[in-house]
Chain A
């Protein structure tokens, strides 16, 4: 997933060599600094894409997973939710749902199937990798940091290319269930916060 930057404005009053050199300087600086600026903005919980602002909070069910209060499993066509913190005489409580719903921060069971002490944890769909070091706030796309860290900038012919190498990145840009855009796509632009930093780079390139 990537975006390329290009200066399209015409500078009629400036010398051609100066303009070309300044453009090159800007592209080099943008390729070097923008990945850091974008990654740090994402890690602060703010989308670098215009109009989004702070990333949407996690759903209560996801926060429960992060905090280890609930684990979800697929059993055939059904989803099973386990609350390890709630034990019954028979074992941990289990709720079976065709669709998990939450009300006031608690599971609203579709059909409670009682309790089970020997449910296999094999085939966990959502719980893997969570529960260690993940913050519920700010929502900053960081479980291991690999995806955010996969951002890179390259100078390409007549521009700078900013991209995330991680294949997970595209799921945040509209291919997942919740949009938490980390790069502009289509007609979108960078947020004014990022644009301000880009303009500062542009000014530096043309002033030196």
Chain B
């Protein structure tokens, strides 16, 4: 996997094991399916307040903030206005799948994924809520196992 964690891009690029048996037309459909599956699975975990990288629950929201903005629910789902998660997407790059956030929303993603690294006030104070894997990491095994199921559809 390749990784990028910057203010302009937070992403990972996944080398998909593509079975030889899949023909050229099906390969693109297969890669799209895997890409969409990875994004959906990440969103699914985030919506539960769980990191799709570590499997651990995100640090709960501050009590006062939760009372004010989320009716008292302290589960952190990183979904205030929705713009950042809406920007989480995938792209097919050759035989690989790029998954991440690029552009204006990447800085928010960088902040959440790194614990506001470099921020003059919040670094060391605001919690890290990681949803993009970094070097040496991957998405949860449970998520990655689903790729095997998708592969089976194409070779069965």
Contact = CB atoms under 8 A, between A and B. Distances in A.
B33 A46 contact: no
Given A44-B47, A192-B146, A193-B44, A136 B37 contact: no
A136 B81 CA distance: 7
A192 B150 contact: yes
B155 to A, nearest CB: 14
Contact of A138 (B33, B34, B37, B47): B47
A57 B86 contact: yes
Contacts of B86: 54, 57
B43 A44 contact: yes
B33 A50 contact: yes
Nearest to A195: B149
The B interface is mostly helix, strand or loop, or mixed, namely helix
Interface string B55-90: 000000000000000000000010111110110110
A191 B37 contact: yes
The A interface is mostly helix, strand or loop, or mixed, namely loop
- Size class of the contact patch on chain A: 20 to 34
B41 interface: yes
A71 to B, nearest CB: 21
Nearest to B87: A54
B36 A191 contact: yes
Interface string A44-72: 11100011011001000000000000000
B39 A53 contact: yes
Contact of A192 (B40, B80, B85, B89): B40
A53 B40 contact: yes
Interface in A1-56: 9, 41, 44-46, 50-51, 53-54
A41 B37 contact: no
Interface string A102-144: 0000000000000000000000000000000000111100000
A199 interface: yes
Q: Which of A45, A53, A192, A193 has the most CB of B within 10 A?
A: A192
B146 A137 contact: no
A35 B109 CA distance: 32
B82 A193 contact: no
Contacts of B82: 45, 57, 136-139
A196 interface: yes
Contact of B36 (A45, A53, A196): A53
A202 to B, nearest CB: 10
B102 interface: no
Interface of A: 9, 41, 44-46, 50-51, 53-54, 57, 136-139, 191-193, 195-196, 199
Interface of B: 32-34, 36-37, 39-41, 43-44, 47-48, 77, 79-83, 85-86, 88-89, 146, 149-150, 156
